[in-house]
Amino acid sequence: MIDLRSDTLTRPTEAMLESMREASFGDDSRDGDATVQKLEAMAAERTGKEAGAFVPSGTMTNLVAMLTHAQRGGEVLLEQGSHTLTAELGGIAGVAGLFYRGIPGKRGAMDLERLGEAVRPTTRHQMGTALIWMENTHNRAGGAVLPLAHMKAVHGLAREKGIPVHLDGARIFNAAISLGVPPLEIAQYSDSVCFCVSKGLSAPVGSILCGSAAFIERARANRRMVGGNMRQAGPLAAAGIVALETMVNRLPEDHQSAKRLAEGFHRIDASLCDPKDVETNLVRVDLKKSGKRAAQWSADLKTKGVLVAPADTWTLRFVTHRHISAPDVDAAVGAFADLWKKSLDTKDTKDTKEKQIRI
Ligand SMILES: Cc1ncc(COP(=O)(O)O)c(C=O)c1O
């Protein structure tokens, strides 16, 4: 099977498994654990923040960040397709007790004018803006990278109004590679940032939330509240350390695979995707022209040995990662091409029949 559903499928490397065996087994929730502390310090350094806290998942780092930045009843402004609004099951409202407003955006970047209009103070008649949120790379925008100038503008606007900024940087290293800058140049435009070692970086589990020392101290209490304190987390942190040390520099390979995939789809039919839109390791494929929904495409591709998940009714999301080689990409494109031809032929026959019935 060529599994293009997610970069979270990456298995730990031999070096990771080795480091996990040798890791410390301190109780991180009681006395602290040396390996966890090392990972947290590395994460803070990479993102240019004072401190970090190791958390089981990206969703939980985001939740802990909102709980730490904002009071219940405050309003969070974030791009309307953000992972937090579309894939975290409403924890923002249901658990953190926050209101939110999705700001329309282009390729994951909020419309600055609309954002500026949405910012408001707390008065006796309205809830004020408690937090501004960015996501880089942006998942639903197909791994799009927020330009630094955009991030700077959002940060500037927030600063002016005294509003904190969180960056969901689940794939910040992919963004950094694409922009050709260290991740701290991206994270400088936020007060807190989280990233995952469990995605393209191949560690089995974990995300790190980074920010000022005072912020992280408060975040640790919220992490405990939502059940995210881990005990002997040393082995997980050990894999995370190896991920940071050895897996970042290979991410360009995943970006090249994604480009190759997009170029393959584009050659089949230009309506499927524009390779110019592919900046990192995600490729969104628009299936409308086939008249066949993404769920059916996913099922049909599975019969040809290709696993891929629907992103919405008419879109498939392909994710490249360490276990996807150039021949895998070509095989996936080949399987897709066969099905594409068949589905267009079927659609033509169906359309002609419908026309005849109407006549
Ligand atoms: C942008 C973004 N944020 C957060 C998450 C959540 O991470 P996790 O699956 O570790 O909860 C994801 C997962 O894909 C993501 O893409």
Question: Hey, which of 59, 61, 66 would you mutate to test ligand 1's pocket, going by the most ligand atoms within 8 Å of its Cβ?
Answer: 59
The Å distance, Cα 267 to ligand 1 centre, comes to 31
Pick the more confident residue, 51 or 358.
Answer: 51
Ligand 1 pocket, residue 208 CB under 6 Å? no
pLDDT at site 103:
98
Measured in Å, residue 191 CA sits from the centre of ligand 1 at 19
The per-residue pLDDT for range 186-229, each reduced to its tens digit, is 999 999 999 999 999 999 999 999 999 999 999 999 999 999 99
Ligand 1 close to Cβ of residue 166 (< 6 A): no
- Per-residue pLDDT of 250-294, as tens digits, reads 999 999 999 999 999 999 999 999 999 999 999 999 999 999 999
What is the distance in A from the centroid of ligand 1 to the CA of 357? 48
CA 93 to chain centre: 20
Contact, 228 vs 234, CB < 8 A?
Answer: no
Q: How confident is the model at residue 346 (pLDDT cuts 50, 70, 90)?
A: confident
Q: To which residue do tokens 């953000």 refer?
A: 82
Rounded to two decimals, the pTM is: 0.96
Provide the 3-class DSSP secondary structure of residue 324: coil
Distance CA 78, CA 134 (A): 6
Q: What dihedral angle (degrees, nearest 10) is formed by the CA atoms of 95, 99, 104, 110?
A: -80
Q: What is the Cα 161 distance to its own chain's centre?
A: 27
Strand-pair partners of 129: 75
Distance CA 273, CA 174 (A): 20
- Residue 294 burial (CB count, 10 A): 22
From the alpha carbon of 82, which atom of ligand 1 is closest? 1
- Ligand 1 pocket residue status of 64, Cβ below 6 Å: no
CB 196 within 8 A of CB 58: yes
pLDDT, average across residues 221-247? 98
Cβ–Cβ under 8 Å, residues 271 and 24: no
How far is 249 from 122, CA to CA, in rounded Å?
45
Q: Which two tokens stand for residue 80?
A: 């309307």
Q: What is the pLDDT of residue 297?
A: 98
| 351: amino acid identity, one letter | D
Distance 352 CA to ligand 1 centre (A): 44
- How far apart CA 102 and CA 358 sit, in angstroms, is 43
The mean pLDDT value of the chain amounts to 96
* CA 60 to ligand 1 centroid distance, Å: 9
Residues in the chain: 359
Q: Of all atoms in ligand 1, which is nearest to the CA of residue 6?
A: 14
Worst-scoring range by mean pLDDT, 88-92, 123-127, 352-356? Answer: 352-356
Q: Does the Cβ of 290 fall within 6 Å of ligand 1?
A: no
Q: Residue 348 pLDDT more than 80? A: no
Question: Which residues lie below 8 Å from residue 174, measured CB to CB, with a gap of 6+?
Answer: 137, 143, 145, 200, 251, 254, 255, 280, 281
Our mutation pick for probing the ligand 1 site, out of 5, 199, 317, counting the most ligand atoms within 8 A of Cβ, is 199
Whether 191 lines ligand 1, by a CB cut-off of 6 Å, is no
In the prediction, which pLDDT does 347 show? 72
Answer for the pair 98, 72: CB distance below 8 angstroms, yes or no. yes
Confidence band of 353 (pLDDT split at 50, 70, 90): confident
Do β-strands 207-211 and 51-55 pair in parallel, antiparallel, or remain unpaired?
antiparallel
For the chain, give the percent of residues with pLDDT over 90: 94
Q: Is the CB of 83 under 6 A from ligand 1?
A: yes
Among candidate residues 261, 252, 232, 243, the one with its CA nearest the CA of residue 199: 243
User: With contact defined as beta carbons under 8 Å apart, do 315 and 284 qualify?
Assistant: yes
Integer-rounded Cα radius of gyration of the chain: 22
- Written as one string, the DSSP assignment of 86-124 is HHSTTHHHHTT--EEEEEPEETTEEPHHHHHHH----BT
- CB of 196 closer than 6 angstroms to any ligand 1 atom: yes
pLDDT of 359 reads: 62
pLDDT digits (tens, 9 = 90+) for 128-147: 999 999 999 999 999 999 99
pLDDT band at 106 (very low <50, low <70, confident <90, very high): very high
Q: Is 194 within 8 Å of 134 (Cβ atoms)? A: no
pLDDT tens, residue by residue, 290-317: 999 999 999 999 999 999 999 999 999 9
Quote the pLDDT of residue 293. 97
58 CB near ligand 1 (under 6 Å): yes
